[in-house]
A and B are shown apart, each in its own frame.
Chain A
Amino acid sequence: MMINRRQMLAGAGALTAAAGLGMPVVKAQAKPRVVVIGGGPGGATAAKYIAKDSQGAIDVVLVEPKETFVTCFHSNLYLGGFKKFDQITHRYDKLSSAYGVRHVRQWANAIDRDKREVVLGDGSRIGYDRLVVSPGIDLRYDSVPGWGKEHEETMPHAWLAGPQTQLLRKQLDGVKDGGVIVMIAPPNPYRCPPGPYERVSMMAHQLKSTGRTKSKIIVLDPKEAFSKQGLFQQGWERHYPGMVEWLGPKIHDGIKSVDPKTMTVTTGFETYKNCAMVNVIPAQRAGKIAIDAGLANASGFCPIKPESMASTLDPNIYVLGDASIAGDMPKSGFSANSQAKVAAMMIRGDLVKARTFPARYANTCWSLIAPDDTVKVGGRYEPKPDKITASETFVSKTDESADYRKQVQAENMGWYDGIIADMFS
């Protein structure tokens, strides 16, 4: 169906086309529409909260091609054998049945900002009064020399959860005792700062628990330091002695090339040949649709207003989650969920004069190092004129007791169920 707001406003023939969607002719009398692109922690949460809290006063459309959502968070727990794949896979059904969100199962191909329309995969258009853009990240396939999209089946990234996650697990299961696994970690900024290192832990756990303790995981990192570094490195020493080696750029002197045919990784310092497995986590940027729509700046991510998550480049658009430049907040599912609630409130305030309050944001990231040994980092954040700014942060300590770490793991599992309920139930 073709919807063209300008034509409708002009009273042209588009009226007929619009009738099926109950479209307004005169905007002031209309039921406003919010279109949400992307059904992850940002988009699904925003769609649910706008629909739930506006109680039918706002028409909410979620544009998301997939029937189910596989969470990136806890995908490492699948890798480590702590969760089954169906336990990290969730349906969108309830957003429609309980809250009236219309789920359009198509790709959003483009945003026509002048006309305030989203162009869908089948070429049809859907108009919006406010647009929420929450596409997550795109991988920069040109960021690791020798590696590209055509090699992701050989050297998986598994940084977009789904079949890649299952592939990585399958490859891990095939590593023989003594095999060398190389992980190429991503440069900042990227989705889930502790994620690569939790993944290393979970891979090491799988190897250890299946008697493959002569295997080794080499982490080639373009960064000098990483999230929860002391905690992870202590955990690797404690649980997986001799199995994990982390090398910063001063040591490896840069990743010069990878060769998927020979499973070789060449750095300025050493060449790793015949690797049993290579996990390439490349550099990242905002989802393509956000970049194509001109919502990103030179960094490849989208600047937002700290008080609302509205794009600084288009007042009718809000950008959430990994695609946004959220100041001190890390790119995490928890952050996206938190940002979505602020945006949902501001959009309702804007469109239906709902009560609004000053923005507040929060985040916590839990990381499982070994069974019942979990650490966390988190904080609360508030809008300042230049950016979303941390007002208080915390991180686990290296001297915590085993009992305490076990409690933190229970918290981690409970949080997962909580955020899933918050997004989808």
Chain B
Amino acid sequence: MRALVRAFRGRIRPSAALALLVLCGPVQASSDAAASPKGDAAFGEYLSGTCVTCHQVSGKATGGIPPIVAWPEDQFIAVMNSYRSKDRENQVMRTIAAQLNDEEIAALAAYFGGLILQPDTKK
């Protein structure tokens, strides 16, 4: 499953690795400072209402909307931080990320990270 997720990611988000490299330093530092609290998945599920209008909860990806299910939480956090800091390009995602604080991004990472990519998600 993890291999499948990674393969999916690698294909659809070629620049995600760069975002991770750039951002994992500060993310790691702030996580350490906050004693690495794990995100509140129930809170994340509520917040996810905004995400799943575009990103399918099954993990299915069509058109230009990538899957966001079953990512490692640290990577999810790094990518969201890159939108929040306006490093990564996308007006919708920048606007969505701008309203989220660290706790909320962690909650989303915990929720989506805990979902399973459903087997019938390939078109």
Interface residues of A (CB under 8 A from B): 49, 334, 337-338, 341-342, 345, 355, 357, 360, 362, 364, 376, 378-380, 382, 391-394, 396, 407-419, 421-422, 425
Contacts and interface: CB of A to CB of B under 8 A. Distances in A.
Contact of B64 (A391, A394, A407): A407
B63 A380 contact: no
Contacts of B50: 338, 360, 362, 380
Contact of A411 (B47, B56, B92, B95): B92
A422 B98 CA distance: 23
Given A414-B62, A417-B65, A391 B56 contact: no
A380 B55 contact: no
Closest 3 A-B residue pairs measured CB to CB?
A414-B63, A410-B64, A414-B65
B30 to A, nearest CB: 23
Contact of B63 (A355, A364, A412): A412
Interface of B: 42-43, 46-47, 49-50, 52-58, 60-65, 91-92, 94-96, 98-99
Contacts of A409: 64
Contacts of A417: 56, 60, 62-63, 65
A345 B50 CA distance: 13
A345 B58 contact: no
A411 B53 contact: no
B68 to A, nearest CB: 11
Nearest to B48: A341
B63 A378 contact: no
A411 B65 contact: yes
A142 B110 CA distance: 53
A299 to B, nearest CB: 27
Contacts of B56: 417-418, 421-422
28 contacts: A338-B49, A342-B49, A345-B49, A357-B47, A360-B47, A360-B99, A362-B53, A362-B96, A364-B92, A376-B91, A376-B92, A380-B96, A391-B99, A393-B95, A394-B91, A394-B94, A410-B64, A411-B54, A411-B64, A411-B65, A413-B63, A413-B64, A414-B64, A414-B65, A415-B53, A416-B63, A421-B56, A422-B56
Contact of B53 (A345, A393, A394, A419): A419
